[in-house]
Structure 1
Amino acid sequence: MTSTPPPGYQPAPYGIPQPPPHPEANTAMIFGIVGVCLSVMCGGIGVFVAPFGWIKGKRVMAEIDANPTAYSGRGNAQAGFITGLIGTIFGALMLLFWVAYVIFIIVMIVIASRETGTTTFDSVNAMLSSRI
């Protein structure tokens, strides 16, 4: 028995070669991360970006699960799905907060404008004149 391989012999590669990553897996992850950041830091604006990460991540995960030998990158697609979902929820809550805040301010302005009697400026003048 010789230790030299026959001519033309190629050693087998170690492990199973990985399929290429899905071309939209990173896009879903980016949409999700940007959506979360915008939802948290910019007062709910991410609600307009995060659903794209959510939807795209779900679709890419379904495509990868349907044919796992064709594509890899399920982790990035799943990250896009999860962060898109979180960004959508945070963004919706932040938008509801801002809408409620604006409504509260409008109600306070209307109530203050209907009030009769002395205004704050008149009260300050009365207080100052009584001390002089």
Structure 2
Amino acid sequence: MTSTPPPGYQPAPYGFPPPPPHPEANSAMVFGIVGLCLSVMCGGIGVFIAPFGWAKGKRVMAEIDANPAAYSGRGNAQAGFITGLIGTIFGALYMLFWVVYIVFIIVMIVVASNESDVTTFDSVSAMLSSRI
């Protein structure tokens, strides 16, 4: 008996091979990260993208937890869930800021247009001539 294996022989790995990653785990992570970046850098625009990462990450984590032998990639799904949640919160806060800012500007315009004490050129020249 010879102790050398035949050509082309591959030793079997120890244990079982890892399950394949969930096909939507990476897309959940991408939606979450892009939504967070857009929420922070672009004044709340990411509020329209981040909830997709949040919802998809939660759904993918539930599918992986239901059958861990079928899929891996829980870390990517969890990253999508967390960054999507944070991006949604930041985006909502930015949108709330912009709505309050626009309402404030409109109120200031309405208040300024209803002002009864309007200074005219004649009253300004009269004030200046009285001080000289």
TM range (shorter): 0.7 to 0.9
Say if 2:85 is the partner of 1:112.
no
Q: CA deviation at 1:47?
A: 1.0
Cross-structure match for 1:85: 85
Question: Residues 43-77 of structure 1, C-alpha deviation per residue, up to 9 Å, x if partnerless?
Answer: 11111111100000000001111111111111000
SS of the counterpart of 1:23? coil
Say if 2:51 is the partner of 1:44.
no
Q: Give the letter for the 1:126 counterpart.
A: S
Q: CA deviation at 1:37?
A: 1.0
Question: Residues 3-34 of structure 1, C-alpha deviation per residue, up to 9 Å, x if partnerless?
Answer: 82787x86321454211111100100010011
Cross-structure match for 1:29: 29
Cross-structure match for 1:96: 96
Q: CA deviation at 1:127?
A: 8.2
SS of the counterpart of 1:85? helix
Q: Give the letter for the 1:39 counterpart.
A: S
The CA RMSD measured in Å over matched residues stands at: 2.7
Between the aligned partners of 1:77 and 1:48, the Cα distance in structure 2 is 19
Between the aligned partners of 1:30 and 1:71, the Cα distance in structure 2 is 18
Taking structure 1 as reference, are residues 27 and 117 closer, same or farther at Cα in structure 2, changes over 3 Å only?
A: same
SS of the counterpart of 2:117? coil
TM-score relative to the length of structure 1? 0.84
Taking structure 1 as reference, are residues 76 and 127 closer, same or farther at Cα in structure 2, changes over 3 Å only?
A: farther
TM-score relative to the length of structure 2? 0.84
Between the aligned partners of 1:83 and 1:127, the Cα distance in structure 2 is 63
In structure 1, list runs of 5 or more residues that go unmatched: none
Total equivalences in the alignment: 130
Q: Give the letter for the 1:118 counterpart.
A: V
Taking structure 1 as reference, are residues 6 and 129 closer, same or farther at Cα in structure 2, changes over 3 Å only?
A: closer
With 35-44 and 23-32 compared, the bigger mean Cα shift is at: 35-44
Cross-structure match for 1:126: 125
Between the aligned partners of 1:63 and 1:15, the Cα distance in structure 2 is 24
